Amino acid sequence: MKVIDFNQDDGQRESRRLADLPGRVVEGDPLHHSTTYFENPAGDFIAGTWTSTPGRWHAFTDRDEFCYIVSGHVRLIAADGSAQTFRTGDAFLIPDGFRGYWEVIENTTKHFAIRRYGHD
């Protein structure tokens, strides 16, 4: 077992057009590129790097997600309409139970660590 260096390890790369997930996108046509550098044996904890083009979509649920914005500008909008904005250098945690939207205002790259619940 070794320490994982996000800057040097290859990871597993994936790209997807978020509009390919039915009912997810609210505005724009965001394209996501992600690299998973770690996934535990149970598959319920992952960590990596993600990049998105602008757009707004329903936030994923059933997870706790820690984010560190490497570059860019995003807004998280809760179901009650309250919003928080994050930019390069900001770190935050989205707890399980958050309901609302991700809005990428300008191309954004983040490091993430996600604890998934109900994962099979």
Q: What integer pLDDT is reported at residue 120 of this predicted model?
A: 47
70, 110 Cβ separation under 8 angstroms: yes
* pLDDT (tens digit per residue) in 43-96: 999 999 999 999 999 998 899 999 999 999 999 999 999 999 999 999 999 999
The pLDDT of residue 103 is 98
Instruction: Identify the burial level of 39 via C-beta atoms within 10 angstroms of its C-beta, where 0-12 means exposed, 13-18 middle and 19 or more buried.
Output: middle
CATH of the domain at 20: 2.60.120.10
How high is the mean pLDDT of the chain? 94
Rounded distance between C-alpha atoms, residue 77 and residue 84, angstroms: 7
Distance of alpha carbon 107 from alpha carbon 51, whole angstroms: 7
User: What pTM, to 2 d.p., does this model score?
Assistant: 0.92
Classify residue 72: in a domain, yes or no: yes
Residue-range definition of the domain harbouring residue 91: 13-116
Report pLDDT for 60: 87
Residue 105 located in a structural domain:
yes
Q: Would you say residue 54 lies in a domain?
A: yes
Domain count, the chain: 1
**Residue 57 belongs to some domain of the structure:** yes
pLDDT at 21 over 90: no
Residue 4 forms part of a structural domain: no
